[in-house]
Structure 1
Amino acid sequence: MLQLEKFSAWVTIDGEETPEYNVEISDDGTETTCWIASQVNKPFEVHWRAEPNHSATAGDVRVDGKNTSGQVVHPSTYMSQNASVKGVPISLTQIRPLMFSTTELTDDDSYLNVGVSPELGSIVLEINNVVVTDAPSRHELQDTQFESKVHERSKKLGAHSARLGEPEYKVSKYVSIRRYGRVASFTFRYRPLDILQAQSIVPPPNSSKRKADNTPGEDETDAPVDKKRAIPEVIELDDDGNEDVESELKALRARMELLKAKQVKKERAEPSAKRVKREHKPVLIQGEIIDLT
C-alpha cells in the first residue's frame, strides 16, 4: 500500500492486494511511484482511502494513458472513506472490467509513426480537491477500444498492457464537480514478474540450494520422533579388573530387567494386539564389546 499524507492507494489483482516494489516519493510528498507484477488475463482494481478531510476529493484513474473512471469522496470529519475503480462504464448499468493482457505486436510499419503513450504499462491515480456543483451531471462513455497495439520494434516497452473484459452489471452514479487542485498522484508501473526479476526490481525466488537444505534427506522422515525410544548402548569392558567387569554386568542385567518391564507394560496397553512369545538370547562377551540382540 502506498501512502501520501491523508491518502493511501493499492492495486488488487484477482481480488488480492499485490505488493509494491521500488517505492519512490517526490520531494514535495505529493507524488509516489512503484512497480507491481502484472498477471495476464487477471482482472485488477485500483483502490484508495481518504483519511478524515474537510474537503471533497475526486480520484481519476488512467491506465496505459487512457481514462477509465473515477469516484468522488465526500467530506468526512470522523472516519476514513474508501473508493475504487474496477472498470470502464459502457452504460448506466454496465462496466467492462480492467484486465491485464499480452501486448499485441505488429509488423505493420504504419505503427512506427504512431506515437506510443509514455504511460503504457502504467496505472495512474490522481486525486484532486473538488467542489460538487448543482450543474446537471453528464457522463461520457469511454472508448472501449482499449487494447494497445505497438510495432514489434517497441518490445522494450514491456510485454503486458491492459484490456477490457466482458460487460458486468454495475450501476454508475454521476455528479458534477469542479476540480481546483491536485493533492496526490499514485503511479503503479506494471510488468511481468520475470521481467521485474531480471531487472532486479523484484527479488529472485529462493535458490535451489536453500530449498534443498529445507528438504528432508534420504535418512530423514517427516514422521514424529518417539522421544521415549530406547537408544542402543555400547558398553566397554576392561580385561584388567574383574570387579569392573562384575559391576558392568550388574548394570547390564538391571537394564535388561528395565527393558523387560517396559515391554510387558506395552503389551498390557495393547490387549488387542497379537502377543508373541519372545525368547531372550544369552549375553555373549567377546573381546571388549557386549552386543545385545
Structure 2
Amino acid sequence: MLKHRGFSAWVMSNGKALPEYLVAVDEEAHRVSCWIPGKEGQTFTVYWQDHGGKVDSCAFIALDGLVVPGRFLFGDGVASRGGIRASHLTERPFTFQKVPNDTMDSPTRRAGKDAGMITLKIKRIRRLDARPANPIQVIPSVLGKRKVGDLCIGFGEEIRAESQHPSTWEVLPYEEDVTIPGASKPSTYVSFVFRYRSPEFLEAQGIAVGEEIPKPRPATRATRQAVRRVASLPPHIHQESASSAERPAKRPRLSSSTQAFPTGVRRPSAENRRIASWAATASEPTITSLGESQFFLPVTKPYFGAPLTNITLDADSSVTSESPDLSGSSQGFQ
C-alpha cells in the first residue's frame, strides 16, 4: 500500500493486494511509485482511500496512458475502479495481457511515455452544479505502441455493472491548491504510479526480492536467558536456597584430655607428637602381660637422672597431642 499526503492506493487481484517493490517518493512532484507483478490473463482493480482529509476529491486512472474516469470522495472513505464503461449497463474489466501477434505496428501510433504504468491521480476540488455524465469511451485494442509479446493492459469481456448515473458535477480547484491565479482546472494533489512487469522480469532484474528468513538465535543466548530466569526467583525461594547453601557445621575438634596422665604435664616436641599420633593410629592394643603394648619416647641426649618410666596405654584412654612429663619435673625435655 502506497501512502502520501493523507491518501493511500493499492492494486488488488484475485482478492489480494499485489506486492509492491522499490517504493520511491518524490516530495517535489508529490508522487509515489513502485513496481508490481502482472500475469497474463489476470484481472485487477485499483483502490484508493482518503484518510479523513475533509476535502472533496476526484480521481483519474491512466492505463498505459489511456485516461479512465475514477470516482468522487467527499473528504473520507474508500473508492475503487476495476473496469472501463462499455455501455450504460456494462463494463469491461481491467486485465493484464500479451500484445497479440496480429497487431500492426503503425508509425502513426505513438509509443507513449506512460506505457507499462498504472497511474492514479487525485485532485482536491470544490463541487459546483451538476452536469451530464461523461460519454462512453471508444476502447482501443492495444494501448500505445507496444512490441508483440510484451505485457500490456487490456480489457476483458463485457460484464454486468451498475447503471451509469445520468449526471456528474462541475468542479473547480480547491482554494489552497491553486498555484496559478484564475485556473479553472484542478491540479494533481498526489499521484501513485504502479509500474507493472511480469514476475519473471522483476526477478531477473533483481527487483522482486523475497523476504529473508530470520536466522535462529545462538544456543548460548538461550542459556544466558535461562540463567537470568533462575536468578529472578521469588524472594521466599531465595531464602530457601540461601539456607540450603549454608556451610555444614564443623566437626568439633578433639579436646585434650589430661585425666589419663598426672598433673603438671609438659608438651613434648613436634617430633614426639608425630610419633605418638602415629602409634595411636594402630589398632587398640590388648594388654596381656607386663612389657606388652609399650613404647618409649626417644631422647635427644643421655639422661643421668632417674630411670625412665614405661608408659602403658590404657584401653579406656585416648592418645592426644599432649604427652606427660615422664620424670614429674619441668625439665624432662630440652
TM-score w.r.t. length of structure 1: 0.62
Q: Unpaired runs of 5+ in structure 2? A: 174-186, 213-334
Aligned to 2:83: 87
Preserved CA contact (<8 Å) 1:111 1:151: no
User: Does residue 190 of the first structure (1) align with residue 190 of the second (2)?
Assistant: no
Question: Secondary structure of the residue that 1:111 maps to in structure 2?
Answer: coil
Say which is worse superposed, 164-173 or 19-28, in terms of deviation: 164-173
CA distance in 2, matches of 1:18, 1:140: 31
> Which of 110, 133, 147 matches 2:128?
133
Query: Which one scores higher on RCO, CA 8 angstroms, separation ≥ 6?
Result: 1
Aligned to 1:49: 49
Residue aligned with 2:132, SS: coil
Q: Which residue of 1 aligns with 2:324?
A: none
3-state DSSP class of the match of 1:99? Answer: strand
Alpha-carbon distance, 1:195 to partner? 0.4
Aligned partner (choices 170, 174, 182) of residue 177 of structure 1: 170
| Matched residue SS, 1:117 | coil
After TM superposition, list the pairs within 5 Å mapping 1:1-293 onto structure 2: 1-28=1-28, 30-75=30-75, 80-104=76-100, 111-112=106-107, 114-148=109-143, 150=145, 152=147, 159-171=150-162, 172-173=164-165, 174-180=167-173, 181-203=187-209
Contact 1:57 1:128 in 2 (8 A): yes
Alpha-carbon displacement from aligned partner over 1:145-192 (angstroms, at most 9, x marks no partner): 24237464xx7xx82101111112222334123242321100000000
Displacement of 1:6 after TM fit? Answer: 0.6
SS in 2 for 1:196: helix
Counterpart-to-counterpart distance in 2, 1:85 and 1:165 = 14
Query: Cα distance 1:204–1:105, how it changes in 2: closer, same or farther (>3 A)?
Result: farther
The root-mean-square deviation of aligned C-alpha atoms, in Å, is: 2.6
1:93-115 superposed Cα distances (whole Å, 9 cap, x missing partner): 2111100001235685x524531
Task: Deviation per CA, 1:40-70: give whole Å up to 9, x if none.
Answer: 1011000000011221001111101002221
TM-score (norm 2): 0.55
Q: Could you list the runs of 5+ residues in structure 1 that have no partner in the other structure? A: 207-293
SS of alignment partner, residue 33 of structure 1 = strand
TM superposition shift of 1:90: 1.7
User: Cα distance 1:179–1:87, how it changes in 2: closer, same or farther (>3 A)?
Assistant: farther
The separation in 1 between residues aligned to 2:116 and 2:160, in whole angstroms, is 27
Q: Secondary structure at the match of 2:118?
A: strand
Farther-moved stretch of structure 1 (143-152 vs 16-25): 143-152
How far apart, in 2, do the equivalents of 1:22 and 1:133 lie? 40
CA contact (8 A) 2:9 2:192 kept: yes
- 2: CA distance, partners of 1:151 / 1:86: 23
Matching residue of 2:279: none
Shift of 1:131: 2.0
> Aligned partners of 2:103 and 2:79: how far apart in 1?
41
Q: Which has the higher helix share?
A: 1
Return the alpha-carbon distance in structure 1 between the equivalents of residues 47 and 146 of structure 2: 32
